Amino acid sequence: MNFDWSVIWTHRSALLEGAALTVGLTVLTMLLAVPGGIVLALMRLSSNKLARSASLAFVEFFRNLPLILVIYWAFYVMPMAFNVQFSPITTALVALVLNVSAYNAETFRAGINSIRKGQMEAALAIGMSRRQAMFKVVIPQAARRILPVIASTWVSLFKDTSLVSVIAVGELAYTAMQIRAQTFRVLEMLTAMAALYWLMGYPQAKLVDWIHRKYGVKE
Contacting positions for other proteins (CB under 8 A): 1, 60-61, 63-70, 72-73, 76-77, 80, 116, 118-119, 121-130, 132, 136-137, 140-141, 155, 159-160, 162-163, 165-166, 173, 177, 186-187, 190-191, 193-194, 197-198, 200-202, 204-206
- CB closer to other proteins out of 35 and 140: 140
- As a whole number of angstroms, the distance between CA 209 and CA 213 comes to 6
Could you tell me the smallest distance in angstroms from the CB atom of residue 38 to other proteins?
19
- CB closer to other proteins out of 63 and 214: 63
Could you tell me the smallest distance in angstroms from the CB atom of residue 98 to other proteins?
12
The SS3 assignment for 160 reads: helix
Q: How far is CA 55 from CA 30, 40, 43, 80, 92, in A?
A: 19, 5, 6, 25, 22
In whole angstroms, what separates CA 51 from the centre of its chain? 23
- CB closer to other proteins out of 89 and 189: 189
Could you tell me the smallest distance in angstroms from the CB atom of residue 31 to other proteins?
21
- CB closer to other proteins out of 50 and 81: 81
Could you tell me the smallest distance in angstroms from the CB atom of residue 76 to other proteins?
4
The amino acid sitting at 47 is S
- CB closer to other proteins out of 20 and 186: 186
Could you tell me the smallest distance in angstroms from the CB atom of residue 60 to other proteins?
7
- CB closer to other proteins out of 6 and 202: 202
- As a whole number of angstroms, the distance between CA 46 and CA 40 comes to 10
Name which of 201, 178, 151 is nearest 18 in CA terms.
178
C-alpha triplet 118, 44, 25: angle, nearest 5°? 115
Could you tell me the smallest distance in angstroms from the CB atom of residue 6 to other proteins?
17
- As a whole number of angstroms, the distance between CA 156 and CA 153 comes to 5
- As a whole number of angstroms, the distance between CA 155 and CA 171 comes to 16
The amino acid sitting at 116 is R
Packed helices 186-215 and 172-183: angle between N→C axes, nearest 10 degrees: 170
